[in-house]
């Protein structure tokens, strides 16, 4: 398995260069079709690791809490996958939600002499920039970042969140039509650019199915407050909505709990949340139509292999989307059960249109706050 994956990854990169104290979640086999492909015109600025690959050391700094069955758990899955597929040493640090701890955590990691430090999300961007400047010889990769001014020893992977959210919106609208609803919901962790990227894509996906369908949006104010997430969701469900897209990290577990209580539906985020929950909390899996997912562990294997070979283009940010199999939606047993076959075919058609570049999805990175508010308010019920 390892030999096939590395061979495949090497072939991809030879043509082009890469375009986001808990128990370990169960590991899944890496599939070739889920490995991101590459963009053109990238040039490596790093030398190959000359030692035995088994001596290569990677640390993953997780700027959040494990146990979310979503974003940070997906990052954690990279630990064992990197060990098994690349045969390297991998450690991780769960830094929690307090951003004041990120810089000293980075300092501690840097002082231990890792060949590469991985992180995930834009939560710790300020700390990442500071530490990159103070340790210019240390290499860093953010598996899911938004940083604009990138230090020369940092590489950023930027998943096209708006694409997977667009598909989530299509699913939500089709299910809403089946139920007879004329509006759907969105609950974000915080009112920030990274989350509103999901919202805008979601709104556009919903209204591509029905231009008159409305989208109610609210924010928890935290990615780790399940009680507040549930409170927000109960308000939405009680207002007459049947479907909510929860882009809220661990707070989203509260949204799923509310859906179970009200016999409503959820669209999950980042990981295949129905699959992650089906053993421990099967009643939650039963209300998750699909999840907008990122193939973070596979991205980690791909890019760390390139780092070992000296083929990473540090100092740049490159994009991953549906066309690169880096993002998408979960098409599992629950998806097949909760969305009828005709609607699933429509989703597949739209996915192929996105891959072919035939769908215009707003680039939120260039949106002003005023433009964002216009989109949000025009969709509001």
In the predicted model, is pLDDT for residue 53 greater than 60? yes
What is the rounded average pLDDT for all residues in the chain?
A: 87
pLDDT of residue 311: 93
Cβ atoms < 10 Å from Cβ of 202: 34
Q: Tell the CATH topology of 161-294+340-379.
A: Rossmann fold (3.40.50)
Name which CATH class applies to 2-159+295-324: alpha beta
Q: Alpha helix locations (H) across the chain? A: 2-15, 71-86, 102-110, 125-134, 161-179, 193-209, 226-238, 252-262, 273-277, 282-285, 296-308, 333-338, 341-355, 369-379
pLDDT, average across residues 68-81: 86
pTM score, whole prediction: 0.78
2 token code pair:
């390892």
Question: pLDDT at residue 219 above 70?
Answer: yes
pLDDT tens for 90-144 read 999 999 988 899 999 999 999 999 999 999 887 788 999 999 999 999 999 999 8
Query: Is the pLDDT reported for residue 2 higher than 70?
Result: no
Span 146-157, pLDDT tens digits: 888 999 999 998
Domain spans of the chain, in order of start: 2-159+295-324, 161-294+340-379
How many other CB atoms are there within 10 angstroms of residue 66's CB atom?
19
Reported as a pLDDT band with limits 50, 70 and 90, residue 19 is: very low
């Amino acid at each position: 398995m390892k030999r096939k994956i590395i061979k495949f990854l090497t072939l991809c990169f030879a043509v082009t260069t890469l375009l986001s104290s808990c128990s370990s979640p169960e590991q899944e086999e890496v599939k070739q079709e889920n490995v991101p492909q590459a963009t053109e015109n990238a040039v490596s600025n790093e030398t190959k690791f000359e030692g035995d690959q088994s001596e290569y050391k990677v640390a993953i700094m997780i700027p959040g809490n494990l146990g979310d069955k979503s974003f940070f758990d997906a990052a954690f899955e990279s630990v064992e996958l990197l060990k098994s597929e690349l045969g390297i040493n991998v450690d991780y640090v769960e830094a929690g939600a307090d951003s004041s701890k990120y810089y000293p955590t980075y300092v501690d990691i840097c002082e231990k002499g890792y060949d590469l430090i991985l992180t995930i999300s834009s939560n710790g961007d300020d700390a990442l920039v500071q530490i990159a400047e103070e340790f210019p010889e240390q290499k860093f990769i953010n598996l899911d970042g938004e940083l604009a001014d990138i230090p020369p020893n940092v590489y950023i992977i930027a998943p096209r969140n708006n694409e997977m959210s667009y598909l989530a919106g299509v699913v939500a609208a089709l299910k809403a039509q089946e139920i007879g609803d004329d509006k759907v919901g969105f609950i974000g962790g915080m009112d920030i650019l990274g989350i509103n990227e999901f919202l805008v894509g979601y709104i556009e996906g919903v209204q591509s199915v029905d231009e008159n369908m409305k989208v109610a949006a609210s924010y928890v104010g935290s990615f780790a407050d399940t009680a507040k997430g549930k409170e927000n969701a109960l308000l939405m469900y009680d207002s007459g909505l049947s479907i909510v897209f929860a882009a809220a990290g661990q707070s989203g577990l509260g949204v799923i709990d509310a859906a179970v209580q009200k016999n409503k539906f959820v669209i999950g985020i980042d990981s295949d949340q129905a699959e992650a929950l089906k053993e421990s909390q099967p009643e939650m899996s039963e209300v998750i139509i699909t999840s907008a997912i990122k193939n973070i562990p596979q991205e980690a294997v791909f890019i760390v292999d390139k780092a070992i070979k000296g083929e990473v283009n540090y100092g740049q940010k490159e994009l991953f989307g549906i066309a690169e199999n880096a993002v998408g939606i979960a098409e599992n047993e629950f998806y097949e059960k909760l969305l009828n076959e005709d609607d699933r075919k429509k989703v597949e058609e739209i996915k192929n249109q996105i891959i072919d570049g035939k769908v215009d999805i707003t680039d939120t990175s260039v949106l002003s706050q005023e433009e964002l508010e216009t989109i949000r308010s025009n969709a509001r019920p």
